[in-house]
Structure 1
């Protein structure tokens, strides 16, 4: 881990934003003023009813325009947070980010979620927490919420853009992947499973497309916006069992892979229970 970096927030009547202080000022202003325009100016990676994700390169040709003029609202107090390690301790020129907008599904969904933490906030919170625990997940740089007082609706999450191959593609061509590479990924999953237990968290959507394998064969976990940390042991155990079943279902009838991953899961079970009890005590 590197040295601490400032985490800053800004609020107005209709918007709240929190970001890593190492982000370029122009990008901060562009995200604050019009996150939809920033999203629209990127390359759409996926678009669905639940969310829209775009690959956003910075700086843009007109990036300087976003930084012109005073801020719309004053910044609120800063706090210190631990940044990611390695070469992510500063934003380099011509950096690529992933910007995700969480859409409202309809009137009932909107009303229910007025009073709940946004999915962008969850992605921000758990992304930073997992990184601090040494888990490979894209670093969250900022999140924005459209809100009015305590009421929240559309939200946005800006993260590090990680390239790699979804685990689903590995499964689709499982016989073409050397067993030694599978073993490396399987061991990493076992370590991820143990560390999540130590934190007392459950993912909530363990489908194969939410895992990425990069060129160095490092396993990344994505889409943390459904993650939660149950404080009651039996609720956590039940949710963790659902995570396990959903993950193993990715492998269809590949009993060899199911058995290998299940072995890792079972080896971590005793540590998992202890880890959750310790996490609940904190």
Structure 2
């Protein structure tokens, strides 16, 4: 699906005592509401990209193409209690994917958000999106030609301008969370992204985004200079 079309994709929502799900129709049929299905796919049919105390991320070859499956792991019993009544990171990813797209920023197409619950208490959460073909800016930028590097820098400047116009922030602007497709910049990992309703809050988080992005190149002055005016 074209990037400009997916924000209008038809989605279904369903809720019960033990789950809450928002899902693009085809993904609903593949994964249903049972977390066991997702866990089984991640355990036996997917390539693990990341596994730590907070998240497990896998690439899974679905019927329509490669997908990214992400499970949010509670770090401890007390962490589970702390997050039980808050908006899950999976739901934030779903909502902010649409907010970024509405602002003209490209993100991986979201396909499903699933929260397992005990009544109002949120437990394990999952987020499914399309896999983006491209390379992390952190790793590819040093190896690009000068012309290609300028193209990336221009895309980054435009992205920051669009975020300023929409008063949204990413929250974790590591260059590994930006994918360069060869012609477009794609944001991933929107776990900490926000839409801001106050100027003060937006300015503070926007400045943090900018500092975090520039930190990627602090030991590479030639690359750092590309981003002087973001």
* TM-score where L is the length of structure 1: 0.74
Aligned residues of 1:251 and 1:257 also touching (Cα < 8 A): yes
Provide, for residues 225-267 of structure 1, a one-character-per-residue CA deviation record: whole Å limited to 9, x for no partner. 111123221121111111111110000222232232121x2xx
- Which of 221, 225, 244 does residue 191 from structure 2 map onto? 225
- Contact map agreement 1:145 1:153 (CA 8 A) in 2: yes
Q: How big is the shift at 1:57? A: 1.4
- 1:254 paired residue among 206, 212, 220: 220
| 2:27–2:112 CA contact under 8 A, matched in 1 | no
Change (3 A) 1:51 1:33: closer
> What's the counterpart of residue 78 of structure 2?
108
> Is residue 44 of structure 1 aligned with residue 11 of structure 2?
no
Alpha carbons of structure 1 residues 117 and 24: separation in structure 2 relative to 1, 3 Å: closer
- What's the CA shift string for 1:17-56, capped at 9, x where partnerless? 11123x2553142766632122223221211111111111
1:189-200 equivalences under 5 Å are 189-200=156-167
Cα distance in 1 for residues equivalent to 2:139 and 2:55: 22
Query: Residue 2 and residue 202 in structure 1: after superposition, are their counterparts in 2 closer, same or farther (change >3 A)?
Result: closer
Report the structure number with the largest CA radius of gyration.
Answer: 1
Verify: 1:207 aligned to 2:174, yes or no. yes
Distance 1:139 1:101 in 2: 17
Residue from 20, 26, 40 that aligns with 2:24: 20
SS where residue 34 of structure 1 aligns? helix
Q: 2:97 aligns with which of 127, 130, 133?
A: 127
Number of equivalenced pairs: 225
Query: What's 2:146 paired with?
Result: 179
CA distance, structure 2, for counterparts of residue 16 and residue 134 of structure 1: 28
- The equivalent position to 1:234 in structure 2, one of 180, 200, 225, is 200
**What CA distance in whole angstroms lies between the structure 2 residues aligned with 1:134 and 1:31?**
34
Secondary structure of 2:32 counterpart: helix
Kept in 2: contact 1:188–1:219 (CA 8 A): yes
Matching of residue 11 in structure 1 with residue 15 in structure 2: yes
Equivalent position of 1:141 in the other structure: 111
| Partner of residue 138, structure 2 | 168
Q: C-alpha distance in 1, partners of 2:5/2:218?
A: 41
- Runs of 4 or more consecutive aligned structure 1 residues displaced over 6 Å after TM superposition: none
